[in-house]
Structure 1
């Protein structure tokens, strides 16, 4: 069975559209940066990563790229380290800045609040697994920094036990 020569141009156009479409959509890709406070292999981080990857839907109509970075607290701390990490992140994501940054745990949220103007000033921040009162109470957060802080109720837990 051969290809009808009268229909070949239509097939050629359809094949070209399928092959070219991903390249044309590249400009519409949404970039998400997930910034963890500590290391990659912390079991809670593995669970959060699995949950985020399952929740963030990447489709042809709405392509999403998820990038993951780790601050490696408490193994590395201090102003020099923070400056080095901020410079690294700014340079690494200069060509593909995140459309949203997800801060996992309090240290990454605090880091982003301190370095945000330097790193990703226009990107909203969503925080998760951040304790409201540790190591100190939450500062007043900008309107485009959102999330549900973790709050423990030790007295309520003891009462239930």
Structure 2
């Protein structure tokens, strides 16, 4: 009886060590597709949902590790509460800056429930907006005061910083003038 009790304890201890090691690590390729989007692997790289055609020609989804590294929040899986508050969808394949053109999306992203409580999603879209030359905090301020104007300025590139060619041309002397 004592040896079976000891064996049970050893088995329990071994299983708990195994579970502790596996539960603490987030690996994109092992995540279910319904948790993939807006997750960050333990390595600090974002997880992305990708689709592919299986051998039967049916569309299937898989979770992959992207090359986009996040300096904080490694091992983070976004909560359903944040996904809902920010108005994002885990089922979308790929993320596009076109989402900013939808007034409802920007309103959700800039809402206190999202902007103040969901740093992972805000960080992702902050970087995406910056890539388009838009400063997300300024867009959110405009969204609060005048949502239609914010969208008009965004779609007309009112918030877009000049690109490198425009900056070089602005500093260069006019053609023919030395």
Same fold (TM > 0.5): no
- Please identify the structure whose Cα radius of gyration is greater: 2
Q: TM-score, normalised by structure 1?
A: 0.33
Would you tell me which structure has more strand in proportion to its own residues? 1
The one of the two structures with greater contact order (alpha-carbon pairs below 8 A, sep at least 6) is 1
